[in-house]
Amino acid sequence: MSSENPPSDPMSSTTSNPAPPTSSQANETTNTTDNSVSATSEDAVSEVVSIVGDVAPSIVGGFFSDMASHLGDLIDGTDGNAPVPKEVVYNTFFIVLGAFSAQLIFFSVATNLTLFTKEFLDYGYSEAQTTEIIVFAINILLFPIIGLISDSCTGPYSVMHVGGVFCLLGTCVFPLISFDWAQYGPQYGLPIYQRQIYYFIGRLLIGLGVVAINTTAPPFAASQVERYGDAVLQTFFHILYSALQFAPLIAYTSLTFVQTRVSFFVGFVIVVIVNLGIMGFFVYAKDYYKTTHQAVCSTTPAVTVAKVAHKTVTGSLKSTCGNLCSWIRDKISCTSCPSCLSSTVVDDMEVVVDETIPLIGVLDPGPTTASNDGGGITADTSQPGPALLAAPPPTTPPETPPKYYGRINVQNFASVSGISEDMVVSSLKILYASLLLSALLPYGIVRYQTSSSFLEQAQHLRPQIFGRAISPDIVTSILPAVGVALAPIVNVYVYPYLSEHLVSTTVSFRTFWGLVCATLSVLFAAAVESARLNIIADGGSSVITSGDGIEYVVSDLSLVYIIPQYLLMALADVFIYIAGLEFAFKQSLQLLPATLTGIFFFYFTLGHLVGILLVPAINALTEGDEWYPPDINNGHLAYYFLVLAAINTVNTVVVYVLFKGFDYVNGQVDESADDGGTTANNTATQPQQPQRTVTS
């Protein structure tokens, strides 16, 4: 259940508003609440597609032509990069197909989950939600653990293969519990308690499989194409994102139609067949995949990074404590505090804190050591007089300034810890990358709103777009389609234009502006919500009957006004999600690529879980006049959106500060190394200039 709300993310469609469901409340785990809604989603998608086709067929055709030309240039190497062999393209395609399969399996279960659990498990809303949150929390913890297993021992292929098997086994459970075995006799029917047990086992298996594939597939596929240049690598991540977005799009339309119009059993059988076919392709290309892991299990990189992390954190804490003690000593004129030092010893290692050095900065090797020609006494026999003359006093060679990375004395650290200087620097880069990825947690909170509060808001607007009746649930169903369309547009048109005329589109640049777009999205949602309530207060409302026969009040404000906030969030997702995966892969220096990718998903998915829990927390703080009640017409949802905007604004500022001056690297593997190809360096196979982050 956790792959990330990436795409519509593997982790996002889990649970929505913790309050009891109302006629208008979105189901967080499914994004579709009943048969009528599910049926209209497919019709609405077809309607939108027809509108687009009528409005701009030439534009659409030109886009696909440009995209095909762009991909052709990359593969042929006509754009300056090395040509990509066909077998590499096929291998990468099969890995991406595996990631797509995992997403499809996840959303095939998540879509209509409330309806499924009510029909086959006799679950109420609270029981279904509790089960999903438990599975969700387990999956969050598994992301970095499985990434570490892949990097330290098994390698990405084995983890993906085992993950596919888990997905297959978990998916097979759902046809089992959705089939009416009692038709062959009462003795063959499955009791409710057995169905519930099988369901929980199936959800855990699918969650484990999806986590394994999502953690390893991006770096595994990226390792196939990284040697062919940054342009190819960046395009790959955009293609991967589009593929992951395409999975929920199919689930929200075609699979939803089959599950609700035909049967859940048939829908799950289709997913099982698709999974079997994709696994066959994946195994077929086994002998051609390029891998960089060692054949024998080795935890050396992970242990080294952990050791550096321990000493860095401990040293920073003690240094902070020492500085605080010094400040207190100065205030009280204390002269008897020998423990108050400007530097701190941690496990016999002195961590010198220099406030003039940025927390995250470029490695400064300092000047080279000057040579000493010696000194002593020189005999002078060319002139009469004393045979010996005193030479000038010996000169002391200047000391080599310490080498710092951030505020860490690398040379001192390496000499005390027994770790090479290069490994210390590499470990610090990985640790700082992990720190920067934490920006995904607040963003995940905001991104979760697309399947919860945004959908709730849409269900209280007049269901019309450009004069045509549209189901409110179309905003969630179309969001993945927007991501599929925006990813290649941004990669083919936007980034090249910006790089040529304005600024380099580095990872920090994309992350920064992605966070800005996310903030603007919730601010726009707040404005729409304020206008919606004002219109209702002025009498501009009507009563609509939902598919399940319940009446609720909607504003006369059209559904079209919610489109900009979804477009802004989709654009933010393209910027941040793709940049985050690319950043995790490059900054791992090929030492721990799956681990950093797992940390990426850990933060992103944890943000969704926090988003789920934020609603009851806000309501508890505003008890008596709740901001986000079951019926949002009686609340202040605009205030809730402003809180989200404030959270993301602070996150944006922090990201700007942390990225400023950050030494962005493109880690490659030195395949000529004696240790089996695990030595990291900063030189690509294709000569490339190191990039520097730009945040504005």
Q: pLDDT (tens digit, 9 = 90+) per residue, 584-603?
A: 998 888 888 899 999 999 99
Tell me the C-alpha distance between 11 and 207, whole Å. Answer: 10
As a whole number, mean pLDDT of residues 627-652 equals: 92
pLDDT of residue 50: 52
DSSP 93-136: HHHHHHHHHHHHHHHHHHTTHHHHHHHHS---HHHHHHHHHHHH
Q: What local confidence, expressed as pLDDT, does residue 406 receive?
A: 63
pLDDT band at 518 (very low <50, low <70, confident <90, very high): very high
Which segments of 256-378 does DSSP mark as H helices, in order? Answer: 256-261, 264-284, 300-332
Percent of the chain with pLDDT over 70: 67
The predicted-structure confidence for 338-368, as pLDDT tens digits, reads as follows 444 444 444 444 444 454 445 555 554 444 4
For residue 112, the number of C-alpha atoms closer than 13 Å in the C-beta half-sphere is: 27
Contact 214, 167 (CB under 8 A): no
Mean of pLDDT values over 243-261: 85
Mean pLDDT (the chain, rounded) = 74
* Residue located via tokens 């690509």: 684
Predicted local distance difference test score (pLDDT) of residue 601: 93
In degrees and rounded to multiples of 5, residue 263 shows phi and psi of -170, 155
Stretch 477-498: mean pLDDT:
82
- Flag the least confident range among 219-223, 324-328, 344-348, 520-524: 344-348
**How far is Cα 337 from Cα 248, in angstroms, rounded to an integer?**
62
Measured CA to CA, the distance from residue 170 to residue 173 in angstroms comes to: 5
How far apart, in whole angstroms, are the C-alpha atoms of residue 3 and residue 372?
60
- CA angle at residue 619 from 615 to 620, to 5 degrees? 115
Strand, coil or helix: 661:
coil
Confidence grade of residue 397 (pLDDT, cut at 50, 70, 90): low
Q: Is the dihedral of CA 299, 300, 301, 306 positive or negative?
A: positive
Strand partners, 681: 668
Alpha helices by DSSP H, 151-299: 156-178, 192-225, 230-250, 256-261, 264-284
Q: In this model, does residue 639 exceed pLDDT 90?
A: yes
* pLDDT of the residue at 674: 31
Residue 173 has pLDDT above 50, yes or no: yes
pLDDT (0 to 100) of residue 433: 85
What's the CA gap between 275 and 585, in Å, rounded? 26
| pLDDT tens, position by position, 39-88 | 344 454 454 445 444 544 555 556 567 666 767 767 766 666 678 888 88
Q: Looking at residue 517, what is its pLDDT?
A: 94
**Which residues are within 8 A (CB) of 448 and not within 5 positions of it... i.e. 6 or more apart?**
5, 12, 607, 608, 611, 612
What value does the mean pLDDT take over residues 498-527? 89
Residue with tokens 């993945």: 480
Q: Which residue has the tokens 């999975």?
A: 247
Residue showing tokens 């990631």: 99
**In what helix (H) or strand (E) does residue 147 lie, and over which residues does it extend?**
helix 125-149
Give the length of the chain.
696
- The DSSP symbol for 254 reads I
Query: Quick check: 294 pLDDT over 60?
Result: no
As a whole number of Å, the end-to-end CA separation of the chain is 36
